[in-house]
Amino acid sequence: MNQTLLSDFGTPTERVERAIDALRNGRGVMVLDDENRENEGDMIFAAETMTVEQMALTIRHGSGIVCLCITEERRQQLELPMMVTNNSSQFQTAF
């Protein structure tokens, strides 16, 4: 990623601190991965504070796919099926 595009947002440490502060205060953050990986952005919200409006924004303006960070045990308790049975994703993203 062209780091010069991020200079107005502070140093890497400052950007992480601002992101954590945003999540603590009920706001979302956009995290971009490397252009040599998936070259995409992820909208991230804390589940504890996410609003209906934020979820609607995520679905409407994202891919329509909402991913959760949960343990396998919790996934089974909630009876959530995996999205794919044969994961052929290049980076083995757990869908």
59 located within any domain: yes
Confidence tier at 89 by pLDDT (50, 70, 90): confident
Tally of structural domains, the chain: 1
Q: Does residue 38 lie within any of the structural domains? A: yes
Would you say residue 75 lies in a domain?
Answer: no
Asked whether residue 22 is domain-assigned, the answer is: yes
Per-residue pLDDT reduced to its tens digit, 18-71: 999 999 999 999 998 888 887 888 999 999 999 999 999 999 998 878 888 889
The residue segments making up the domain with residue 47 are 3-68
**Cα(37)–Cα(58) distance, rounded to whole angstroms?**
22
Buried b (16+ CB within 10 A) or exposed e, 51-87: eeebeeebeeeeeeeeeeeeeeeeeeeeeeeeeeeee
* Helix, strand, coil in percent for the chain, rounding step 5: 40, 10, 55
Single pTM value for the model: 0.74
